[in-house]
Amino acid sequence: MTAPLFPLFADLQDRAVLVVGGGSVAARKVEALLGAGARITVGAPSLDARLHALAEAGTIIHRAGNFVPDWLDTVWLAVAATDDRAVNRAVADAGAARRVFVNVVDDAELSSFQVPSLIDRGPLQIAISTRGAAPMLARHLRETLEAQFDASLGVLTELLGKHRRKIRTRLPDLGQRRRWFERLLAGAVPRLLRQRQPLQAERALLTALGESAQGPGEGSVVLVGAGPGDPGLLTLRALRALNEADVILHDRLVSAEVLALARRDAERIEVGKQAGHHPTPQDDIHALMLAHARAGRRVVRLKGGDPFVFGRGGEELEVLRAHGIAYEVVPGITAALACAAYAGIPLTHRDHAQSLRLITAHSRDCGAPPDWRALAAERQTLAVYMGVAELGSLQAQLIAHGREATTPFALIENGSRPEQRVITGTLADLARRAQTHAVVSPALLILGEVAAFATTLHWFGAAPLTHADLPSSELRSAA
Ligand code: SAH
């Protein structure tokens, strides 16, 4: 069995490196090496356009001709990137004779060093190697890990580097320093960097240095949109917040598949007005958020869809602000967008609808009575949230205010989830069709000319239940 490779990060700043080969593979390696500040000589009979331009600009040196071992005499490292294995082998052999490390691109056997798959966040670099055994696996892992690390980690690394001495002087004891770092990484500094507020982040770092490492750190709340149910519709930021959460306060609408992606040991608390038989009043949700954040925890307030669309996100932020608790907001895919996409309904369409309205059918959530005339206008799409119980009056009002009784609708129940159902029809039949098919919550109504596309453009889950599926008794009464 071959021994594992020894990982090392080489400082190539102003050091001479040889690349043998003048094609596109060589050009890619040259670009990576230039990023590390190496002084590069490319040895090849001729150069491709990219390398030629670099040589013209004086960024690299071109040694024209076929490889000779002397080329290795003055370099620290070499890369062989020709398509001729005999040449690559000659470079490898000459390197071995001179104790110069040589990488032969995609040829682990000939290489004395290998280049890892890399997650690059400025000074922070995460390298993956499989010893050349499974480059595709390394690549896959890299892609998976890429998603987990915010771009601001590079800036965080720089900031910590800048104050490294100060931190060591202030906290000479290793255990003490470790505890301080744990608090720091769970607190305001990474959050402020995510919020693209570097000056405030640096100030918070210096403040934290002045404080003792006792007591709870600073808690915060991230208001996160969980999307409609399909976990694939989470944003990368939502996923990261779930990975870092100490406590998750989630609505009932949030799917189990989404919750399963959260940190194992995060405490999960179901809240919200639809939770079980004992709804949590909004004030109690506020109290819970405040209590956990004040105890220094990272709280994720997880809501179905988007937190700012019929989600009371605004109210919750006002409370946090009033109590001086730091917060972030991660948008989610709101039900209207998700249901439309998963039912094959374009919400706007050059020929059929120029605008979209997101409305709620819950009269108690609207305050003043809705402007029915405006809602009944043609050539617009209505996306109606929380409507199942109110479809009868909605239908009557829209028709009374001038919307055609033949306007198509689609009712989407459990949009984006495996059990999704789509029921289509026309406005005159809306309430009856919903009743016939016993539509339950959560369901979203899309009303407007575009809803007709559900019959032809559907692609997800069960085919839509169209008029043709009506039980024969209903067909008779509809006639
Ligand atoms: N903030 C959420 C909406 C909360 S109000 C969002 O942005 O989506 C709750 C209503 O949203 C439900 O009554 C229903 O009308 C709609 N809804 C949420 N998820 C849904 C889903 N998966 N399928 C259909 N409708 C959904």
CA-CA-CA-CA dihedral for 79, 85, 90, 94, to nearest 10: 40
Residues with Cβ within 8 Å of 85's Cβ and at least 6 positions away in sequence, in order, are 107, 110
Nearest atom, ligand 1, residue 332 CA: 7
Average pLDDT over every residue of 318-333: 97
User: Mutate which of 223, 234, 235, 253 to test ligand 1's pocket (most atoms within 8 Å of Cβ)?
Assistant: 253
pLDDT digits (tens, 9 = 90+) for 96-121: 999 999 999 999 999 999 999 999 99
Alpha carbon of residue 205 to chain centroid: 27
Distance CA 357, CA 309 (A): 12
**Cα of 470 from ligand 1 centre, angstroms:** 26
371 is catalytic: no
Say which CATH architecture domain 336-478 belongs to. 2-Layer Sandwich (3.30)
**Cα of 263 from ligand 1 centre, angstroms:** 25
Q: What is the pTM of this model?
A: 0.81
Does 347 or 278 have the greater pLDDT score?
Answer: 347
Q: Give the residue, by CA position, lying nearest to ligand 1 atom 13.
A: 386
- pLDDT at 387 (0 to 100): 79
- Pick the range with the lowest mean pLDDT from 43-47, 177-181, 337-341: 177-181
Does 467 or 233 have the greater pLDDT score?
Answer: 233
**Cα of 218 from ligand 1 centre, angstroms:** 33
Nearest atom, ligand 1, residue 414 CA: 23
Q: Provide residues with CB under 6 Å of ligand 1.
A: 228-229, 253, 303-306, 309-311, 334-335, 339, 385-386, 412, 414-417, 441-444
Fold of the CATH domain 219-333: Cobalt-precorrin-4 Transmethylase; domain 1 (3.40.1010)
> 29, 230, 246, 251: which one is catalytic?
251
Distance CA 165, CA 163 (A): 6
Burial of 438 (0-12, 13-18, 19+ CB in 10 A): exposed
Average pLDDT over every residue of 10-36: 97
Burial of 232 (0-12, 13-18, 19+ CB in 10 A): exposed
Nearest atom, ligand 1, residue 441 CA: 13
**Cα of 138 from ligand 1 centre, angstroms:** 39
Average pLDDT over every residue of 123-149: 91
> 173, 273, 365, 371: which one is catalytic?
273
- pLDDT at 213 (0 to 100): 55
Q: Are 185 and 243 in contact (CB under 8 A)?
A: no
pLDDT digits (tens, 9 = 90+) for 295-315: 999 999 999 999 999 999 999
Residues with Cβ within 8 Å of 317's Cβ and at least 6 positions away in sequence, in order, are 223, 327, 329
Nearest atom, ligand 1, residue 313 CA: 1
303 is catalytic: no
Any bridge partners for residue 77, and if so which? 17, 101
Average pLDDT, the chain: 92
Q: Which residue is listed with tokens 């709101």?
A: 334
Q: Are 345 and 454 in contact (CB under 8 A)?
A: yes
Where residue 75 falls among pLDDT bands split at 50, 70, 90? very high
Distance CA 16, CA 74 (A): 7
- pLDDT at 348 (0 to 100): 97
Residue 405 has pLDDT above 70, yes or no: yes
pLDDT digits (tens, 9 = 90+) for 199-217: 999 999 999 998 765 666 7
**Cα of 271 from ligand 1 centre, angstroms:** 16
- Its sign, for the CA torsion 420, 425, 427, 431, is negative
The CATH number corresponding to 16-115 among 3.40.50.720, 3.90.78.10, 3.30.930.10, 3.30.365.10 equals: 3.40.50.720
User: Mutate which of 233, 310, 394, 420 to test ligand 1's pocket (most atoms within 8 Å of Cβ)?
Assistant: 310
Does 368 or 254 have the greater pLDDT score?
Answer: 254
Structure tokens belonging to residue 316: 């919750």
- pLDDT at 171 (0 to 100): 92
Average pLDDT over every residue of 271-279: 62
- pLDDT at 69 (0 to 100): 97
Average pLDDT over every residue of 270-281: 69
Q: Which residue is listed with tokens 């690390």?
A: 149
Where residue 79 falls among pLDDT bands split at 50, 70, 90? very high
What are phi and psi for residue 4, nearest 5 degrees? -65, 160
Nearest atom, ligand 1, residue 228 CA: 22
